[in-house]
Structure 1
């Protein structure tokens, strides 16, 4: 017999994944199993060291990994590429030093577009900059979306992200809802087609060591929120289906499951007036077991949205748990209900002691915990994390934001621009006198002579954002909700400019703006879904082609929005521009 230490089965890459999972599971204590059920948040210092304080630091990193046995985290914030790679390696070194050496699975919210909302996504920073998913929908090209997903995969792999907390495949059917920029618009058919391409780009034909696991969200389809409010907040918790379109919202998730998505995130929303229990989807057995597991046949990981169990500080504010319909339950009772419903993992939480006590009290069986741990360990093995958890900082710097990826993103920005009206203004020629507002004068100077007064201009270029109502609290201020109409004083100022000089108006449509007066008076009106000033000016001066088509309709009035049904796509009366509108330029 050869001498020396026998390699544990779970350490042997030549053994089948299921054998490795069972061997590791048999070696784990209850506390170590409980740690797997939490997908918490980490931040880092700018120099790549562990953060010890900050708005998202609820416990030191060593305490979470060594003390609480957590091995799933999402990184909050934007940092240098080399420093991020170095931090990832430090995290993995710490995990490797624990009793079983279970590697960490790191995830991230979207990082490739223009939105910057710490509760949903980050702007691209060092990563290649692409239009928002709405802009990809405006282009409507599955091959491009697959290329985008592949680009995300390659840039994420370079810095050690192995789970994408996206794509977001809710349908934009309630015009006021704040999360629409992360969707593919109002069409279930187009969204279904694009999510298949997105999952292929992230995961390949099957999940493996070169994949980034896709966590599609928010099952069974966020979007039909009462009054368009968001269920991050108690006043937006109600999800309703007055138009009877529940199955319509489910279509993209059927496509995602068929495409092999590895993970699914249920939404916060509390369904009202359906045959489902009136509790948030993370606690909802009708939805997670009856619909997702049994009807759709999904056997991947179900990770709840963030913060369903405990009250916690967010950006300095105490933020209540999003336990809609289960507010009266204790933290332990909420956890038990979510596990009973079919959840495998708790997003944004870090209290494994609650699971340990539930098992020891007999409320939850260890076999039920094992069921979820198996899924979570299987993904780690399949992703190759036990063999290769580390990244190369030099390679990371070469890959993230590489010329190839940057060029693809810039081309997509231009294609996604959507020309809504053009009264002979575009494309421009020569070097006109330009008056600009909401746009970089330095960028504009490459196309014309920038003048300080519109009376001296041949052409004005005005960039606007979709209006929203200011909300109290720092965190809620990032979720743009409420009225889509321009305030009267702002509208008057805009119309004065349009009367004074032929004006190209570009509106960033993070939601469907109400702009009939602007549409009537602008010499040209363009919608953007995340595009640089240079991208817009390239289109305006004929150096690039805009190919976008509206991924949702633009309502005529707020009265029309209020009268529409939130679960029905493109349901406002007499819209200014219908779904799919766009001019060739």
Structure 2
């Protein structure tokens, strides 16, 4: 791979692959990437414009199938794809004598080329260097496609020690080690959490990761919940303070008050609070699908989210994404709809969008549109489509989610149910309405991409990956935080 670099005296450096077909436009002494190979500067290619303006321009140009690709999000990927996450390379299992750990598997190539997916969830990686190399291969492939839209690689928590849970399997390995969120909560120190975000964002960007699926701002009001350690504790005030510090640390990594080259998108979860599961069970499983409010404490569970989405804060201080939980928030509103949170129009549109004015991306949790598991104990054997298990097809579930106000489908790799949902939406609401609805989600999703500067440079410096990730400075900061998180019990 040969990367070309073009400098601007008063603008960003442009980096693109020699093999992608992208050319450079020069206008008034400034240089721009010609993403659509049109030979003229379009608004979405003009880095002088605001991200939202660029996103609006590109969103109106894309086909519905392109937008369907934007709405998709891969399931957990391992680099290389071996073991439980194993995939085929050139029709055979991974062979280190034939393949590089950073090679794209056959199914990954299908994700990007055929399905037009632009968002991944990267779980296990062999090393920071492998992650960086893989990112560059992905970006080169995506850059060679029409529109040359970059790929956003996301991660679940990576900086703890426990890696034996589906939602935490990126942890451990060659990266700075910090306390789990509950340990962060034990420090009562927002500045420490902000520092974590600033460090972690630099490590993420060095590996080609540009989105963190966090912070988890659920309140730990049910101590038997299995995701208790991912929370900041039971206090709404403390969780609000630490959650907003987390968001600002990751998104405003360089402390400029602006999005920058080290910024990482945050996706706060799990709206409207996943820690209230009946009996302390968990909504990954059918027997734990209900969130309950025995003291009618719905408003208390929302306080930490209110802080994360505060419209009085700037966009770099406000979480750029929200993820609802699998659970059915039982009788949360007077409509008693009682469907999984992502399926609830009240929770997504009436409450989050309209009442709180939140106009950023909303993504479902992973895998909620296929049929429920046949094995009640296996969270990986099927999907958690709670409240719409019966009498809904997979396409109808996608349609319902879109009508509820969702923008992205976590863990969904197939665009066909999304296209089906669009066609049905055209029949129900008319084509202009359906097209406007799809382009609205596209604009929200693309805005985050432009904020990150990925259209100018989606590539990372492979040689620096191992120097930055898990560096002595960052590792010492993590150990210091661990020390401060220790609670002595007399």
| TM-score normalized by the length of structure 1 | 0.68
Corresponding residue for residue 406 of structure 2: 343
How far the C-alpha of 1:215 sits from its partner, in A, is: 0.3
Kept after mapping to 2: 8 A contact 1:311/1:319: no
How far the C-alpha of 1:356 sits from its partner, in A, is: 1.3
Corresponding residue for residue 214 of structure 2: 166
Structure 1 residues 238, 84: CA separation in 2 closer, same or farther (over 3 Å shift)?
same
How far the C-alpha of 1:333 sits from its partner, in A, is: 1.1
Corresponding residue for residue 189 of structure 2: 141
Counterpart CA distance in 2 for 1:58 and 1:272 is: 42
Counterpart CA distance in 1 for 2:81 and 2:330 is: 48
Counterpart CA distance in 2 for 1:356 and 1:46 is: 31
Structure 1 residues 376, 274: CA separation in 2 closer, same or farther (over 3 Å shift)?
closer
Equivalent of residue 82 in structure 1, options 125, 129, 143: 129
Structure with greater Cα Rg: 1
Corresponding residue for residue 578 of structure 1: none
Equivalent of residue 389 in structure 1, options 440, 449, 458: 458
Corresponding residue for residue 286 of structure 2: 234
Corresponding residue for residue 268 of structure 2: 216
Equivalent of residue 334 in structure 1, options 397, 415, 432: 397
Structure 1 residues 396, 312: CA separation in 2 closer, same or farther (over 3 Å shift)?
farther
How far the C-alpha of 1:316 sits from its partner, in A, is: 9.1
Corresponding residue for residue 375 of structure 1: 444
- 1:39 aligns to what SS in structure 2? coil
My pick for the range that moved more, 14-23 or 170-179, is: 14-23
Equivalent of residue 62 in structure 1, options 100, 106, 109: 109
How far the C-alpha of 1:51 sits from its partner, in A, is: 4.9
Structure 1 residues 317, 124: CA separation in 2 closer, same or farther (over 3 Å shift)?
closer
Corresponding residue for residue 329 of structure 2: 271
Deviations 1:165-224 (A, max 9, x none): 011011111111000111001111110111111111001134444310110000011111
Kept after mapping to 2: 8 A contact 1:65/1:95: yes
- 2:154 aligns to what SS in structure 1? strand
How far the C-alpha of 1:317 sits from its partner, in A, is: 7.8
How far the C-alpha of 1:402 sits from its partner, in A, is: 0.7
Counterpart CA distance in 1 for 2:249 and 2:412 is: 29
My pick for the range that moved more, 102-111 or 74-83, is: 74-83
Kept after mapping to 1: 8 A contact 2:60/2:439: no
How far the C-alpha of 1:42 sits from its partner, in A, is: 5.2
Deviations 1:259-318 (A, max 9, x none): 411000001110223324200111011111111111221111001000011249999986
How far the C-alpha of 1:11 sits from its partner, in A, is: 2.1
How far the C-alpha of 1:36 sits from its partner, in A, is: 0.7
What are the equivalent positions in structure 2 for 1:188-267 lying under 5 Å apart? 188-204=236-252, 205-258=257-310, 259-267=317-325
Corresponding residue for residue 381 of structure 2: 319
How far the C-alpha of 1:79 sits from its partner, in A, is: 1.9
Structure 1 residues 153, 284: CA separation in 2 closer, same or farther (over 3 Å shift)?
same
How far the C-alpha of 1:62 sits from its partner, in A, is: 1.3
Counterpart CA distance in 2 for 1:38 and 1:312 is: 20
| Number of residue equivalences | 418
Kept after mapping to 2: 8 A contact 1:239/1:272: yes
Gaps of 5+ in 1: 422-585
Equivalent of residue 226 in structure 2, options 166, 178, 181: 178
How far the C-alpha of 1:5 sits from its partner, in A, is: 2.5
Kept after mapping to 2: 8 A contact 1:77/1:118: no
Equivalent of residue 367 in structure 2, options 303, 307, 321: 307
Gaps of 5+ in 2: 1-25, 28-37, 95-103, 311-316
Corresponding residue for residue 26 of structure 1: 60
Corresponding residue for residue 173 of structure 2: 125
Corresponding residue for residue 49 of structure 2: 15
Counterpart CA distance in 1 for 2:81 and 2:323 is: 32
Kept after mapping to 2: 8 A contact 1:268/1:282: yes
Deviations 1:451-498 (A, max 9, x none): xxxxxxxxxxxxxxxxxxxxxxxxxxxxxxxxxxxxxxxxxxxxxxxx
Corresponding residue for residue 405 of structure 1: 474
How far the C-alpha of 1:19 sits from its partner, in A, is: 3.8
- 1:40 aligns to what SS in structure 2? coil
Kept after mapping to 1: 8 A contact 2:217/2:231: yes
Kept after mapping to 1: 8 A contact 2:372/2:389: no
Corresponding residue for residue 491 of structure 1: none
How far the C-alpha of 1:153 sits from its partner, in A, is: 0.8
| TM-score normalized by the length of structure 2 | 0.80
- 1:43 aligns to what SS in structure 2? strand
What are the equivalent positions in structure 2 for 1:105-116 lying under 5 Å apart? 105-116=152-163
Counterpart CA distance in 2 for 1:411 and 1:77 is: 26
Counterpart CA distance in 2 for 1:233 and 1:59 is: 31
Kept after mapping to 1: 8 A contact 2:79/2:131: no
Structure 1 residues 129, 8: CA separation in 2 closer, same or farther (over 3 Å shift)?
same
- 1:418 aligns to what SS in structure 2? coil
Alignment of 1:287 with 2:347, yes or no, is yes
